[in-house]
Amino acid sequence: MRALLQRVSEASVQVDGQVIGQTGPGLLILICAMQGDDVSTAQKLAQKIVKTRIFKDEAGKMNRALPDSGASALVVSQFTLAADTSRGNRPGFSAAAAPDEGRALYHEFCAALQALNIHVETGEFGADMQVHLINDGPVTIWMDTQAG
């Protein structure tokens, strides 16, 4: 799976002009299931994200993880994270999981975060969404479970 984490002051996602998910201080997580990913991949990625220390402590250092900060997460599916730009000018997305598999792994990832006591709001898998955010820092972290 691939994830792009953005530490945010606030973020929201809209479908057809209606806000369907939002967070105050926390993480906006853009997520993409890749071919070969499975339930254990989603669970391991959720655990890694929850333990990643990117929130400020009293001294202003990035020393707190998501649970320590009391923050929440807005999780938005984004198959374009699978983009292959190695050939030509049009990205290819064949490395992304098939839509039904991607949807199942997206929901499994969200459930895994919730099982780790993180408040999670979501976008709508496969929908045309508008994402609004205020990146805090800015702090943006790329994670790819297939990269090692």
- Considering the candidates 6, 23, 41, 79, report the single residue annotated as catalytic: 79
Detail the DSSP E strand segments found in 18-95: 18-23, 26-32, 55-56, 62-64, 72-77
Confirm whether 23 is a catalytic residue.
no
Confirm whether 125 is a catalytic residue.
no
Q: Give CA–CA dist 42/50, Å, rounded.
A: 12
End-to-end CA distance of the chain: 11
- Considering the candidates 6, 14, 41, 78, report the single residue annotated as catalytic: 78
Confirm whether 55 is a catalytic residue.
no
Which of 46, 55, 42 is closest to 120 using CA atoms?
Answer: 46
Residue partners of 123: CB distance under 8 A and separation at least 6: 13, 15, 20, 21, 74, 75, 76, 77, 129, 131
- Considering the candidates 80, 93, 130, 146, report the single residue annotated as catalytic: 80
Residues in the chain: 148
Query: Which residues are known catalytic residues?
Result: 78-80
